Amino acid sequence: MAYSFPEEVLEHVFSFLSSDKDRNAVSLVCKSWYEIERWCRRKIFIGNCYAVNPRIMIRRFPEVRSIELKGKPHFADFNLVPEGWGAYVYPWILAMSKSYPLLEEIKLKRMVITDESLELIAKSFKNFKVLVLSSCDGFTTDGLAAIAANCRNLRELDLGESEVEDLSGHWLSHFPDSCTSLVSLNIACLVSEVSFLALERLVARSPNLRTLRINRAVPLEKLPYLLRRTSQLVEFGTGAYSADVRSDYFSNLTEAFSGCKQLKCLSGFWDVVPAYLPAIYPVCSRLTSLNLSYATCQNPELGKLISQCHNLQRLWVLDYIEDFGLEELAANCKDLQELRVFPSDPFAAEPNVTLTEQGLVAVSDGCPKLQSVLYFCRQMTNAALFTIARNRPNMIRFRLCIIEPRTPDYLTLGPLDAGFGAIVENCKELRRLSLSGLLTDRVFEYIGTHAKKLEMLSIAFAGDSDLGLHHVLSGCESLRKLEIRDCPFGDKALLSNAAKLETMRSLWMSSCSISFEACKMLAQKMPRLNVEVIDERGPPDTRPESCPVEKLYIYRSVAGRRFDTPGYVWVKKQL
């Protein structure tokens, strides 16, 4: 006789498992564990909304409270995915409105969400608490009004970097006076003015508010009114950080910031007037996260601010910081874990700032916990990359963007293969890598050989032949997402590694050498892959089959082909 725990006990044990990986492992143990687990899974993460469909999800997990969905491929952020490609959330909302009445959280990334969807959310889920829309589009402030008006227990409304059609700021006034549950509000992406009075009142009646990110339209002199009413804030995003320089504005602001004893994270800072930066000095020593990536201020003010943030763990900044500022950062912020340096003028022909590989080397040297880097610059050497790799074997995310494609090592005039090779060889825990500069197939050989934990790889203007792609697909065991543009990779490498594609979430290739014929073949032989040819030149059969396709998006799916494709996307017809 088999001895087993009663279901309730197992369910209780499983309730301590929060990671999807663990729950998926539990489901595979035996049929009864599968059954018990599926009834008590409350949180779902779907990395590609087309990998599965609402019906399949609801059938397996009937009691979900929280869902996270991702839609368009990452390169959509850079305009590479044409308008209308897909990632519509409405079918999901519709299905969940019928099957998940107790749904509390919806988190979306790169999806299209209409006002209709927002209204349906507002109407269908009585206990709705969290709405996070990261880089989404398709909705207007009318949809937001519906959410504000109807979600009585709303805790979090985060619009991320979404594109919202901003009809008016009045939507904010739709939060009823009885709504006091807000913990987090991020409206930084909105363009038009919200009613400041409504915002102030909302903030004043939200005792649990910990995150507030306002939009650019809120002027600096109004900030103290907000900060005074919500001095328990942990994360704050300013609006435009500019005003005529007046001592009363300055002292009010400084006093208001001083009152925020819990403040750990600052962002916003559009249109910075440097004279107002010292108003933040009182909170600098507590800051762990600082996003100055929209702040067009320079040294010495910039450096002076940052060097007071001794507990800084995350810094996002423009390249106005320059090498000098990064050296100061390395000297003062020993807890730094993540650095992102964005370009202030990415399209200028000549560099407008003195930001080189030296800055990054300095930070890699001075900050022992540095593990995540995004760095835009205009020059690099293998030597610098060697040094960075040696200094920081704990690197997990390394994204380097040398602005001009195919830029060689400026000392040797050769490719940067060896430098990136050193990165993947030394940084054994590397999970994400973005390449740039002059690169041959050799760098892919290094990556295939060493980058065993690599999950996401971004490649642009690199490589010589199919061999490059082959090295990556055959060598990178943990690869989940691969995105490639403007590389001479062709059919052979893709078709020889077709099976690999089923172990990955997705592959994006644009401006490469994959023929339509190869796409058809892949689609035919691999029924569990969706092969999408994205080509705005017209139907692929109006060109020779050997002609390379413009763009290609391949992803594994249990849902079969989708039926919401626009005219310029070709998917295989028969299942």
Q: List the interface residues with another protein, window 20-59 (CB under 8 A).
A: none
Cβ neighbors of 130 (< 8 A, separation 6 or more) are: 66, 104, 105, 106, 107, 155, 156
Contact 331, 359 (CB under 8 A): no
Q: Distance between terminal CA atoms of the chain?
A: 45
Instruction: Give the residue, chosen from 78, 178, 558, 575, that forms a contact with another protein under the rule CB under 8 A.
Output: 78
Instruction: Give the residue, chosen from 126, 411, 546, 564, that forms a contact with another protein under the rule CB under 8 A.
Output: 546
Which range, of 113-121, 138-146, 326-334, 440-448, touches another protein by CB under 8 A?
440-448
Instruction: Give the residue, chosen from 235, 357, 445, 455, that forms a contact with another protein under the rule CB under 8 A.
Output: 445
- Which CB atom, from 32 or from 546, has the smaller least distance to another protein? 546
**Least distance to another protein from the beta carbon of 22, Å?**
31
**Least distance to another protein from the beta carbon of 273, Å?**
4
Hey, is 258 helix, strand or coil? helix
Instruction: Give the residue, chosen from 63, 404, 477, 564, that forms a contact with another protein under the rule CB under 8 A.
Output: 404
- The yes or no reply on residue 467 touching another protein (CB under 8 A) is yes
In 3D, which of 209, 264, 210, 216 has the Cα closest to residue 238? Answer: 216
Which range, of 6-14, 53-61, 101-109, 289-297, touches another protein by CB under 8 A?
289-297
**Least distance to another protein from the beta carbon of 469, Å?**
11
- The yes or no reply on residue 72 touching another protein (CB under 8 A) is no
Number of amino acids touching another protein (CB under 8 A): 88
**Least distance to another protein from the beta carbon of 498, Å?**
6
Contact 184, 158 (CB under 8 A): yes
Instruction: Give the residue, chosen from 548, 554, 555, 569, that forms a contact with another protein under the rule CB under 8 A.
Output: 548
Instruction: Give the residue, chosen from 169, 224, 359, 408, that forms a contact with another protein under the rule CB under 8 A.
Output: 408
Exposed e or buried b per residue across 48-58, where buried means at least 16 C-beta atoms within 10 angstroms of its C-beta: bbbbbbbeebb
- The yes or no reply on residue 492 touching another protein (CB under 8 A) is yes
Q: Provide DSSP, 52-79.
A: S-HHHHHHH-TT--EEEEE-S-GGGGGT
Q: How far apart are CA 417 and CA 435, in angstroms?
A: 10
Contact 444, 471 (CB under 8 A): yes
Which range, of 61-69, 88-96, 172-180, 459-467, touches another protein by CB under 8 A?
459-467
Residues 514-543 that bind another protein (CB under 8 A): 515, 517-518, 521-522, 525
**Least distance to another protein from the beta carbon of 407, Å?**
7
In 3D, which of 536, 537, 539, 546 has the Cα closest to residue 573? Answer: 539
Residues 191-220 that bind another protein (CB under 8 A): none
**Least distance to another protein from the beta carbon of 56, Å?**
25
Judged by phi (left if over 0) then psi (alpha if -120 to 50, else beta), residue 86 lies in: left
- Which CB atom, from 309 or from 467, has the smaller least distance to another protein? 467
Strands 481-485 and 456-460: parallel
- The yes or no reply on residue 319 touching another protein (CB under 8 A) is no
Q: Can you read off the two tokens belonging to residue 386?
A: 């060697």
Residues 360-379 that bind another protein (CB under 8 A): 376
Between 143 and 162, how does the x/- string for binding to another protein read (CB under 8 A)?
------------------x-
Instruction: Give the residue, chosen from 117, 141, 289, 344, that forms a contact with another protein under the rule CB under 8 A.
Output: 344
**Phi/psi of residue 92, each to 5°?**
-70, -45
Residues 253-282 that bind another protein (CB under 8 A): 270-275
Residues 224-243 that bind another protein (CB under 8 A): 242
**Least distance to another protein from the beta carbon of 381, Å?**
13
What angle do the packed helices 31-40 and 7-14 form, to 10 degrees? 60
Q: How far apart are CA 161 and CA 424, in angstroms?
A: 31
Contact 252, 271 (CB under 8 A): no
- Which CB atom, from 309 or from 522, has the smaller least distance to another protein? 522
Q: How far apart are CA 73 and CA 50, in angstroms?
A: 11
**Phi/psi of residue 129, each to 5°?**
-125, -35
- The yes or no reply on residue 419 touching another protein (CB under 8 A) is no
Exposed e or buried b per residue across 540-553, where buried means at least 16 C-beta atoms within 10 angstroms of its C-beta: beeeeeeebbbbbb
Contact 402, 380 (CB under 8 A): yes
Instruction: Give the residue, chosen from 308, 513, 530, 557, that forms a contact with another protein under the rule CB under 8 A.
Output: 513
- The yes or no reply on residue 383 touching another protein (CB under 8 A) is no
* Tokens 């498992």 sit on residue: 17
Residues 118-137 that bind another protein (CB under 8 A): 135
Q: How far apart are CA 398 and CA 370, in angstroms?
A: 10
**Least distance to another protein from the beta carbon of 176, Å?**
31
